[in-house]
Structure 1
Amino acid sequence: MVNLLGRRNGPVGREALRAALAIPGAHIHLYGKREARVGRKMGHITVLGPSLAEAEAVALQAADRVDV
C-alpha cells in the first residue's frame, strides 16, 4: 500500500487518475475528498505481487501518475 498525498491545492478531477488506472494490478482507493491540499491524504493504492519489493515498486509507479 502506498498513500496518495496531495501535491497541489485545488479540485480533483477524473483525469487525475487515468494514467494510474492503466497499470495492471494497481487498485486505487480514494476517500471522496473533492479538494486537494498539499500533504493531505487523498487515498491509497494497493498492489499484490510475488514479493513486497515488486508490489511496492508497482504501487509507487501508479502513485507517481496520480495528479492530486
Structure 2
Amino acid sequence: MTVSLMKLTCWAGLPEKEHTPFSIRSIKTSFYNTFLTETIFSNLGLELSCNKIKRLYSKCFNIGAMAA
C-alpha cells in the first residue's frame, strides 16, 4: 500500500479538522493484525457472538502496537 492510500484509509472516517499525523509503522502493524486476526478466526470457525471471543478478537488487533 502506498502512503497516500494509507492516509486515505485512516483519515476517511475522521472529520476534516481531526487529521493528525500518524506513523506508517503503526498503520502497517494495524493492517497486518487485522488480516492475521480475521484469517485465524475464520479458519478456526469462531463466531463473534460470544463476548469472550469478542474480547479476544479485539486484543489481537493491538499486538505489536507501539505507544506514541
Report the structure number with the largest CA radius of gyration. 2
Q: TM-score range by the shorter chain?
A: 0.3 to 0.5
The structure whose RCO (Cα within 8 Å, separation 6+) is larger is 1
TM-score, length of structure 2 as denominator length: 0.37
TM-score, length of structure 1 as denominator length: 0.37
